[in-house]
Amino acid sequence: MTATTARNRMLGHVITAEQFDRDLLDVLFRRATALDGVRDDRLAHRIMATLFYEPSTRTRLSFESAMLRLGGAVIGTEAARTFSSAIKGETLEDTVRMVSTYADLIVLRHDEAGAAARAASVASVPVVNAGDGPGEHPTQALLDLYTIERELGRVEGVRVAFCGDLRFGRTARSLALLLALYPGVRMTFVAPPVIQVGGDILARLEARGVECRLAEQLTDVLDDVDVVYQTRVQKERFTDPLEYEQARTAIRIDGAIMRQLPATAIVMHPLPRVDEIAPEVDADPRAAYFRQAANGVAIRMALLEMLLA
Ligand code: NCD
């Protein structure tokens, strides 16, 4: 499939990981590799709006960097909840209708699941979901999958242990859906029951014939993994502080865990981390999370090119 065919199939908006298939991913990853380090003006005169109702460092700045590296321009609000007309009571739909007339593409982060789909239903330009509450984070999943392919040289047949907050963590949900496209992938979801993965995701994975296991301790699965995908416990989504405290300390990766991890395995994390990965792990060559974050720029360049060029 060529980049043009791929672009025509993108449906305009990027809302869920389930929009992607293997062909589209292959094209996107080839373009990301080709665009890595590029600075030119192929998106000159194009404007990207970043509309962020929730905090972000990597996602917003890597989208902005990607757009600037391709010669495009960026407008946006990074605290849309307080600095946009949302504080005056404007609905998301009204804001998006307006911003559609100011920019050629909207990158939206919002605290409600389904917000990106709502925005897309009224937008006259492509909407990219940069995280919708506990829903999905498809572009993070793209860079995560790209990282697995680059680090391990393959995706087919990989064994992935998702750890941490699999109940509210949107990145693990989206990545699991993308991994389901690759034959032989085995997924283990490692979390205490209070933050274990939702039945909705398990049902979708099982419908695709993916082999899934649940576990409570990382040490029980460490000898049988290629990727440990650790996640932050999403404090902002808990209503019960006691429940959060119990969940927070459940799974931690430290030097002792790294000693048990196979030499060829990698540790990933969408970041930010709090204390679920000890700083002593950073120097280990198997700690892939900073390389993973860096991959976000090239992936988002490829995505912007596909949506806008
Ligand atoms: C994640 C997110 O916002 O969902 N961060 C990111 O985009 N890299 C993960 C998190 O906040 O824990």
| 124 plus 216 within the same structural domain | no
Please give the number of the atom of ligand 1 that sits closest to the Cα of 59.
7
- 132 pLDDT more than 90: yes
What are the Cα distances from residue 237, in Å, to 16, 111, 193?
20, 9, 16
Which of 142, 171, 175 maximizes ligand 1 atoms within 8 Å of its Cβ, making it the mutation to test the pocket? 171
| 120 plus 169 within the same structural domain | no
Strand partners of residue 277: 253
| 242 plus 173 within the same structural domain | yes
From the CB of 81, is ligand 1 less than 6 Å away?
Answer: no
Please give the number of the atom of ligand 1 that sits closest to the Cα of 169.
4
| 300 plus 220 within the same structural domain | no
Return the SS3 of 72.
coil
Which pLDDT score is estimated for 11?
A: 56
The torsion angles phi and psi of 132, rounded to 5 degrees, stand at -120, 90
Give the lowest-confidence range in 58-62, 84-88, 246-250. 84-88
| 147 plus 273 within the same structural domain | yes
| 142 plus 269 within the same structural domain | yes
* Residue 249 CB-half CA count within 13 A: 5
Burial readout 253-292 (b: 16 or more C-beta within 10 A, e: otherwise): beeebbeebeeebbbbbbbebeebbeeebeeeebbbbeeb
Pairing relationship of beta strands 73-77 and 227-230 according to DSSP bridges: unpaired
Which pLDDT score is estimated for 3?
A: 58
What are the Cα distances from residue 247, in Å, to 113, 192, 232, 237, 256?
22, 7, 10, 12, 20
- Rounded to the nearest angstrom, the distance between the alpha carbon of 5 and the centre of ligand 1 is 31
| 179 plus 117 within the same structural domain | no
| 130 plus 12 within the same structural domain | yes
Which pLDDT score is estimated for 256?
A: 97
- pLDDT tens digits for range 177-198: 999 999 999 999 999 999 999 9
Kind plus residue range of the DSSP H or E element containing 73: strand 73-77
- Rounded to the nearest angstrom, the distance between the alpha carbon of 237 and the centre of ligand 1 is 13
- Rounded to the nearest angstrom, the distance between the alpha carbon of 304 and the centre of ligand 1 is 20
| 105 plus 222 within the same structural domain | no
Which of 107, 140, 244, 291 maximizes ligand 1 atoms within 8 Å of its Cβ, making it the mutation to test the pocket? 140
Cα-only R_g, the chain: 19
- 6 pLDDT more than 80: no
DSSP state, residue 120: H
From the CB of 170, is ligand 1 less than 6 Å away?
Answer: yes
| 38 plus 164 within the same structural domain | no
Number of domains in the chain: 2
**Domain of residue 250, CATH code:** 3.40.50.1370
From the CB of 237, is ligand 1 less than 6 Å away?
Answer: no
Mean pLDDT of the 168-176 span:
98
| 112 plus 183 within the same structural domain | no
* Structural domain boundaries, residue 156: 138-293
Spatial contact of 65 and 107, defined as CB atoms under 8 Å apart: no
pTM above 0.75, yes or no: yes
| 61 plus 163 within the same structural domain | no
